[in-house]
Amino acid sequence: MRESLGKNVEELENPDKPFNSEEAKIWAERLDELVVKFEKFQEDNKIQKDELDSLKRDVKDLELHIESIPKKIWVTAAGNKIINTLEKLSNSKFAQALVEITIRGLLGQGAQ
């Protein structure tokens, strides 16, 4: 997934510039959707509350910096933070599928 993330970063428009307000809003919405999905996983006892809280802290941090650093750095950092969080969950097939779906969703490629 990290390799896929790197390829998608290369395809960003103006990767050395920060996101503008409109782009930042789109990415913030994607992150918010991610948190909602994980809240459902926590409700279904597929992840623990502390894991959800960790993800929420990471998302909040990412949203704070979205318009201040270059896109390629932000997307790489966002993807890696999310992958790291998901890798901590477990090595189960559920967690592996969750990593792939999450990264695809974050990058706007939809979930399959």
Contact between residue 37 and residue 85 where contact means Cβ atoms under 8 Å apart: no
Tell me if 33 is assigned to some domain.
yes
Please state the pTM of the whole predicted model: 0.73
pLDDT at 16: 94
- Give the chain's mean pLDDT: 80
Tell me if 111 is assigned to some domain.
no
Contact between residue 67 and residue 21 where contact means Cβ atoms under 8 Å apart: yes
Tell me if 73 is assigned to some domain.
yes
- Segments forming the whole domain that contains residue 91: 2-106
Tell me if 18 is assigned to some domain.
yes
Q: What is the pLDDT of residues 15-46, one digit of tens each?
A: 999 999 999 999 899 889 888 988 888 888 77
Q: For the chain, how many structural domains are there in total?
A: 1
The stretch 66-78 carries a mean pLDDT of 91
The stretch 43-66 carries a mean pLDDT of 86
Residue ranges of alpha helices (H) inside 11-92 are 21-43, 49-65, 71-89
Nearest to 42 by CA among 28, 57, 56: 56
Q: How far apart are CA 74 and CA 37, in angstroms?
A: 22
pLDDT at 112: 35
> How sure is the predictor about 4, in pLDDT bands with cuts at 50, 70 and 90?
low
Contact between residue 25 and residue 38 where contact means Cβ atoms under 8 Å apart: no
